Structure 1
């Protein structure tokens, strides 16, 4: 997605680059090649043949997505929208919509794996067109107002956006309330009991061996790592001008609250969210050496925009 080019033009893009398509196609081909030999077991009704069939179908779907996914661009200029659509091996299809053909424009908020905002255009001929996502998640209000000015239409009603730079505070994550605290404590108790009961029974009956003690110790270590992970990621940030306030669950199941000011920050980085390739976090390194990690954000463009807004609010270089 491109950012706003200038005051008289807005570009909205959706699609994948050539490199992304090549990577996706390569993964699909490798998956299909691995799955093909396993199809020989399908005649014997073995589970390996069924797994190979599903892997082959999944690889074919990935290959189709790489080959036939459309690239879409909206170029909005004074009085008109130029829409271009193209597949990798197809012709470029253009459509021009003038502002006098538009009967209504509204803003749609998508709550899938990430927060996205798109424009829905209804024309006089009763066509409904949905734009690619707006480019900067922190500038939705500004971009929407600019598009409405270019098309000479009333500004659409705005949906709630926790990342918008026009807000007095931007919010990352969900507030930590009593329900989350109770769920956190219940998870700790359930995890500890489920790991300990078999070993307690073995110890009571005198059947606990050295191997059992080793496995019990390993389970305790894994449980501690899981609790630490939940503790680090269960956070809620509120960023205002000059100060960042964050809340997170403590290891005791209570809420820790602290604030950070701009002069305490050494640098702000973007790091992998760990779970998926599209998940990222904002990591703030303090001058004391301590690191604070944000809740998970989806998409590098969104994460970069939020990071830039945090830098602006904390008045960092």
Structure 2
């Protein structure tokens, strides 16, 4: 079963099975929410459907290709590619939580989502987002160990270390999401059910809640600092040591090779954390609906598509592995035709 299939099954099953407490449901006084994102282009829904479908297919294809290549090519059985496979899996799950529902709504007159599905979507979205923050920090530590501690790299990134680090990244996102989702289920909406967004997330839900959201807002800002900023600071610290080590390499070839192994990760970190900061640390007044929709699209839909492109286009080993697999398939096809 492919990562995308697993994510779709997990999300669909959890969305159907999660039954939030009745006292919480009675407080909300709403059974569904209406998304207002893309409401300004009522006659362009079919074109948006095609665009988002193409983005989703590229995302799933690109990331599953990365995971498959890492599994098939023994040259990619290293800690760096082990973490990259987890990143690709996260990106497929991340995109699958939001895009299929968006595509469904493009084919309907009313862009709606049920209360339970909204809570489930928010839970999984924040789980994968938090996990990706932690995983990018782990990947930065891996590059630090490879460049700054090359003699001890095999022990620093042994299977007894990298597997717990990957698991901890997923748990990191789960804990962050569990806190926000639990607090969100205690919000009252008093009949207000129009969300200025294209999917369920904490900031747009807080805007339409009629109960006190002070605890939710404080928790969101604290989580942005602790769950988001702390991995980012760890990444910065790792790259301070990495750049210092690279500058001490005497040969230009050696410096270029060391820097090239980090370049793709640095680009992904810059794009991901930059968009996350804009998405979750927006001004209290917020942006216009159009700007909000654009930011959310870039952060949750475009970014997962870009990651495999960044790593594959800038990584010689990944490109060679892809050529090897494609070449093997061509040879197998040619031998079959001769028979």
TM-score normalised by structure 2 residue count: 0.25
Higher relative contact order (CA 8 A, sep 6+): 2
TM-score normalised by structure 1 residue count: 0.26
More strand, by proportion? 1
